[in-house]
Amino acid sequence: MRLVEAPHLLLRYEDRFFDDPTSVERIAEWLGLNPQLSLVGAIFGRYETGAVRAFAARIAQLPADRIVMVGKSRMDPITQIHEPRIRDGRSGKWRELPAPARQEMTRIYRPFLECFGYPLA
């Protein structure tokens, strides 16, 4: 929350920015870059959902010096992709927790939820 007032590019998972090729252009523009369209397409292709799932499934096959453990999961430090990276793609699953846990999550994250316009329930 301390960074809310900082100038930043807001990419919301719920808006599925990762399915929108123009997201690469938005990020490049925010960084002050002007990449060629072919590069934008290549970047999007490398990081679209299916490509990331496929890469995550092959992380164990990377050279040993390219794998770090994060908890019990292997991660590639170059791409920041780790084995269980993409599951069902749904957001807001915390709302499906049992009532006591859901209420506690809402209490803790209320300022964030309200700031970014997320429903509390």
SS (H, E, C) the chain: CCCCCCCCCCCCHHHCHHHCCHHHHHHHHHCCCCCCHHHHHHHHHHHCHHHHHHHHHCHHHCCHHHCEEECCEEEECCCCEECCCCCCCCCCHHHHCCHHHHHHHHHHHHHHHHHCCCCCC
pLDDT digits (tens, 9 = 90+) for 6-47: 788 888 888 888 889 899 999 999 999 999 999 999 999 998
| Domain span including residue 94 | 90-121
Is 33 within the bounds of a domain? no
pLDDT digits (tens, 9 = 90+) for 64-113: 999 999 998 999 999 999 887 677 777 788 889 999 999 999 999 899 88
Is 120 within the bounds of a domain? yes
User: Which tokens in the block code for residue 85?
Assistant: 């990276």
Write down the pLDDT at residue 83: 87
Is 7 within the bounds of a domain? no
Domain count, the chain: 1
Is 30 within the bounds of a domain? no
Is 97 within the bounds of a domain? yes
Is 61 within the bounds of a domain? no
Is 46 within the bounds of a domain? no
Q: Write down the pTM of the prediction.
A: 0.69
Query: Exposed, middle or buried by CB within 10 Å (0-12, 13-18, 19+), for 120?
Result: exposed
Is 118 within the bounds of a domain? yes
